[in-house]
Every structure is written in structure tokens, then in C-alpha cells.
Amino acid sequence: MLRFHNYDIVFQEIPDEVTLAVNITGCPNRCPECHSKFLWADTGEPLNEESLSVLIGEYGSAITCLSFMGGDQEPQEVNRLAAWLRQEHPRLKIGWYSGRQDRDEAIGLQNFDFIKLGPYEAEHGSLKERTTNQRLYRVEAGGRLEDITSRFWKKH
């Protein structure tokens, strides 16, 4: 069962979207310089249709996207909840921030608008750095992934 620690409205994780970011606990990746080590423990409230409905109801039309921040321990459950969101809240865009290097086969691209892949590696920096190993993709028609990571980089 997926659990979440907290959530917040964010403006930087998904470009051009007002995103409800849900921080999922039980992260198996254990990136050495993780900024959210508190998410390693499998604690928190259950993340399911009921809890998502409450969160979405709290913010209503103020949000344009919901992003699962983690969930690598149960990608099939992230995918299932994304499919439910797609059906029940079709106006919302759906994102997933994964620390995996590659997309898990359990993730159906039809259920997502954005997918971030890659563990945090301090020597490469965060998404804001041109040297980052992480990538944010926009899911295009037909399941094509467009790398939009450069949207995070400052123009000089």
C-alpha cells in the first residue's frame, strides 16, 4: 500500500502547471544525498482514491496537475491511481517523479502527462543544472516522450 507524508501546491516541478505534489513515503532508492530522507520510511496516511479525492476537493480548480512524488516501491499502484485520476478528474494533468533510471513497465504512458526519471546524483546536480542526470519528459500523443528538462535551466 502506498502512503504519503505530506502534500503541497508547487509551481516549479511541472512547468506551466499549478501542481498538487503528493510526497510518497517508503522510497527504496536511498539516493546518498537525498534532500527528503524522511520519505525513506514507510509511514504516513494511505494514498488511495479516497485520500486523493479529499486532496483534490480541498483545492478544486486551483490546481491544474497532480504529481506523485515517489512511489517507486509500487509503480503498479502509482499507475492504477493515475488511471483512476484520468477517468475521474480528466481536466487534471498527471505527473510522476521517479528516482528510477528507466520507466518501470508497470507505468502506462496513457495515464501520465509528465514523467521525471533519474536518481539524484549530487555530482550532476538537480533538474536546474545543465549537467543533471535527471530528465523530465512530457508524454506526447502515441506515447512519445519529449525531454523538457531544459525548461528548468536559466537562460543566460
Q: What is the pLDDT of residue 33?
A: 83
> What is the average per-residue pLDDT within 127-137?
96
Distance between CA atoms of residues 64 and 18, nearest Å: 5
Total domains in the chain come to 1
pLDDT band at 31 (very low <50, low <70, confident <90, very high): confident
82, 94 in Cβ contact below 8 A?
Answer: yes
pLDDT at residue 101 above 80? yes
pLDDT band at 154 (very low <50, low <70, confident <90, very high): confident
Distance between CA atoms of residues 61 and 18, nearest Å: 10
Work out the percent of the chain whose per-residue pLDDT is above 90.
90
pLDDT in tens, 4-13: 999 999 999 9
pLDDT in tens, 48-94: 999 999 999 999 899 999 999 999 999 999 999 999 999 999 999 99
Work out the percent of the chain whose per-residue pLDDT is above 70.
99
For residue 139, the domain's CATH number is: 3.20.20.70
Residue in the structure block whose three cell numbers are 519528459: 137
Tell me the residue range of the domain where 86 lies. Answer: 3-152
pLDDT at residue 156 above 80? no
pLDDT band at 32 (very low <50, low <70, confident <90, very high): confident
Give this prediction's pTM. Answer: 0.95
Residue 61 has what DSSP assignment? G
Distance between CA atoms of residues 24 and 95, nearest Å: 13
